[in-house]
Structure 1
Amino acid sequence: MSEATNDNGPCAPNERVLYRERSAFQDILLAQEPSGHINLTLDDVWQFRSQDEHVFHEVLADTPILMAASPAKVLILGGGDGLALRNVLRYPAVRQVTLCELDPCVLHMTRTIPAMVELSENSLADPRAQIIAADALSFVETVDARYDVVICDFPAQTSPELSRLFAPEFFRTLEAITHEHSVVSIQVSQDPAGFWPICAAVEASFEWLHPMLANLDAADAAGAGDPPSGDDDNWADFVVASHTPQVVRSEPAEGVRFLTGPRIPRLRIRNRAGDHFETDEYGQLPDYR
């Protein structure tokens, strides 16, 4: 296999390629480090690394489940790696999950590559999960259902094609498939200049917002007491939204390692201007100036 590149530079020569495919939509590369950790890139853009993905997916997927009054019916848009689905399925209150992934090759990778089957806890095979290979925008425009929780697990907005999934028109379609107490969670992963316009687009359809920030390095320094790095490469931001104000209503499931009920309000981004994000958890980090 040829060497691949991602946001952090070329893959190390001693990394082992577990799966590589040029699909009809993107270049997919799943590689394993000598440590055993695996990394996924799509079109040379990093998607996850197994040593810290739990931080990302707990904030994205567990937060709306913990806030929803009744998270029985869940929709995941994107997320073909099965990791958000894995987290959602840990909650007995979840009765039915529909996952809509654009790329069948990503689904094939998750179902067949042993490292991904293990990491995802074989979530795509769970009887509560309905897996659909389709364009998310087309799906939400035609579906005749209302969901208690909607999780948008798309790649960050790095192309015109992806921009439509962060536009006001898309969030209006989500409004039509939710109800008064539904909770919507969206991974954004943009600096403040890109993050707040997306929050404004969400706010046009969902009055209550809970913007959140997570330091993925928390996985490496768990229990060490080290302060978070100011390096903006290892941070992710999200927006949780609803038609009505929401609070944390339940406890995280067994297996959750980063997220706690008290931590959810501490991860909330308080400011809405400037070159940094401000939270109780991290102070004024990272600084994007």
Structure 2
Amino acid sequence: MPYALLFSIFVVAACGLAYELVAAALSSYLVGDSVTQFSTVIGVYLFAMGLGSWLSKHLQRDLVASFIRIELAVGLLGGFSAALLFYAFAWLSGPFLLLLYLLVGIIGVLVGLEIPLVMRLLEPRLAFKELVSQVLSVDYIGALAVSLLFPLWLAPKLGMVRTALLFGLLNVAVALWTLWLFRAELPARRSLWAQGGVVLVLVLAGFVGAERLSGFAENALYEDRIVLAESTPYQRIVLTRWKNDVRLFLNGNLQFSSRDEYRYHEALVHPGLSSLPWAKRVLVLGGGDGLAVREILKYPQVESITLVELDPAMPNLFKTHPALRALNGDAFSSPKVHVINTDAFRWLESQQDAYDFIVVDFPDPTNYAVGKLYTNTFYRFVERALSARGRMVVQSTSPMYARHSFWTVVQTVESVGLTTQPYHALVPSFGEWGYILASREPYTPGGKLPPGLRFVTPATLPTLFNFPPDMARVPAEVNRLNNQLLVRTFEQEWKQVLR
């Protein structure tokens, strides 16, 4: 029996950490700022566990029955925690964070009650030093197992909703296993079996129907019909469709609408590349949808395009899905295109090749993982990869809605010794959007544009570089790797817009 209870500790420790990771990851997906979300969720959770451990001293009778009921409660509440958070974000956007911390706090208190109760059940059966060493070692091993499985397999393969429900089932299994072990000592075992059966059916039904649960929640988050949704180790990818409008969302943030993405991508590529008629080697950092590559392929002198994209699911999706292949002009089938799936920061740090034109097309700096790709350290790597007369272009958020953030990126690019030429374009899905051209020599708008463009023309190109007073330059600091002030600035500015 002692070994059975020690195994139960392994399971409950794994389950407790899993709920903590699910809540932190889900809140960072939905709210952004992963460092803040993980820090606050972990802090609240640990505090609640400490409170639960302190409260355990008040449980004096029916320890086995109390432990079983706590396991069932953790299994039910923790199992459905991800689904509850999804629905809360969809329908209760204001109180979402309050509900998040309340849910994390309740689960933390219940988890904090578990280990002290098991230790008291084991106390008559093990010497004190054996009790403490074995319980704590098993507890830590369980936490290690989940911390490794969560990012490598659970989150990308099962998703947040099903992962939480899987661990809910494990908590229920521990409750029923404990009930079986102590069946002779429990006068109210029939009631406990009934409670366990009800919770098991509920959590098992949730696990089987997890796709429907998450689908209902995501349908409430997005205005249009979801045609594809998948989780990868790096992000949540959702495609929606309404009539002929296909939209891509990464972690809930709109990346493009097929109705006007041509404006964004023509403005991203052509002002810079049209001024380099001799450019042969092009590097695209990010841009896993292939839409920037589509525009680059309109220049016949370009001989090779290297695309560095962290998440292999993105280029794989955009070279296999019929509607998306049509959107990017089957760009990934071109023999000129070579895709490298790795972290752009690390890849640039180690590679030695030089490129005539570099497109930096990352998502907005909503968290520190992306924010590092907007630092002076990263731009120093990009500058090193530029050929002597080469140019780079950086998508740089909105100079209208995130004005200070935009000019922070400009200041950061200039800090590595490059001359910048900021510009902007109206993309209806996003509003006024900003870009930065940078090189070692001044830039003058001009050059021969490829035929068939729908937005950028010789007449409109010079107007992109004119900033009205409400978007004009403001003082800004350099965004450095050790502080990443841009992430905080960006979050504050967009909160003002969305109020």
Q: TM (normalized to structure 1)? A: 0.84
One-letter identity of the residue aligned with 2:439: S
What secondary structure sits across from 2:424 in the alignment?
A: strand
Match of 1:15 among 220, 225, 229: 225
What secondary structure sits across from 1:85 in the alignment?
A: helix
Superposed CA offset, 1:45-83 (max 9, x none): 010000000000011112211122522110000000000
Matched, 1:137 2:345: yes
> Quick one: structure 1 residues 4 and 197, their matched pair in 2 at CA, closer, same or farther if it must change by over 3 Å?
farther
Partner of 1:28: 237
Partner of 1:210: 421
Partner of 1:155: 363
Match of 2:465 among 268, 274, 278: 268
What secondary structure sits across from 2:377 in the alignment?
A: helix
What secondary structure sits across from 2:273 in the alignment?
A: helix
Identity among equivalent positions (%) equals 28
Partner of 2:39: none
Partner of 1:121: 329
The whole-number CA distance in structure 1 between the counterparts of 2:271 and 2:339 is 22
Q: Displacement of 1:3 after TM fit?
A: 4.6
Matched, 1:244 2:441: yes
> Structure 1 or 2: larger strand share?
1
Partner of 2:167: none
Q: Displacement of 1:105 after TM fit?
A: 0.7
Report runs of 4+ in structure 1 exceeding 3 Å deviation.
3-6
The whole-number CA distance in structure 1 between the counterparts of 2:387 and 2:363 is 26
Q: Displacement of 1:162 after TM fit?
A: 0.7
Match of 1:39 among 233, 238, 247: 247
> Quick one: structure 1 residues 121 and 3, their matched pair in 2 at CA, closer, same or farther if it must change by over 3 Å?
farther
Partner of 2:18: none
The whole-number CA distance in structure 1 between the counterparts of 2:269 and 2:397 is 15
Q: Which has the larger radius of gyration?
A: 2
Q: Displacement of 1:143 after TM fit?
A: 1.4
Superposed CA offset, 1:203-248 (max 9, x none): 112432111111113x9xxxxxxxxxxxxx4221111111101234
The whole-number CA distance in structure 2 between the counterparts of 1:236 and 1:3 is 32
Partner of 1:192: 403
Q: Displacement of 1:87 after TM fit?
A: 0.3
One-letter identity of the residue aligned with 2:292: A
The whole-number CA distance in structure 2 between the counterparts of 1:195 and 1:16 is 32
Q: Displacement of 1:116 after TM fit?
A: 0.5
Work out whether residues 226 and 238 of structure 2, in 8 Å CA contact, stay in contact via their aligned partners in 1: no
Work out whether residues 417 and 440 of structure 2, in 8 Å CA contact, stay in contact via their aligned partners in 1: yes
Match of 2:432 among 230, 235, 250: 235
Partner of 1:230: none
> Quick one: structure 1 residues 64 and 245, their matched pair in 2 at CA, closer, same or farther if it must change by over 3 Å?
same
Query: What are the ranges of 5 or more consecutive residues in structure 1 without an aligned counterpart?
Result: 220-232, 280-287
Partner of 1:277: 471
Work out whether residues 251 and 260 of structure 1, in 8 Å CA contact, stay in contact via their aligned partners in 2: no
Q: TM (normalized to structure 2)? A: 0.49
Higher relative contact order (CA 8 A, sep 6+): 1
The whole-number CA distance in structure 2 between the counterparts of 1:197 and 1:99 is 26
Partner of 2:390: 182
> Quick one: structure 1 residues 3 and 211, their matched pair in 2 at CA, closer, same or farther if it must change by over 3 Å?
farther
Q: Displacement of 1:254 after TM fit?
A: 2.2
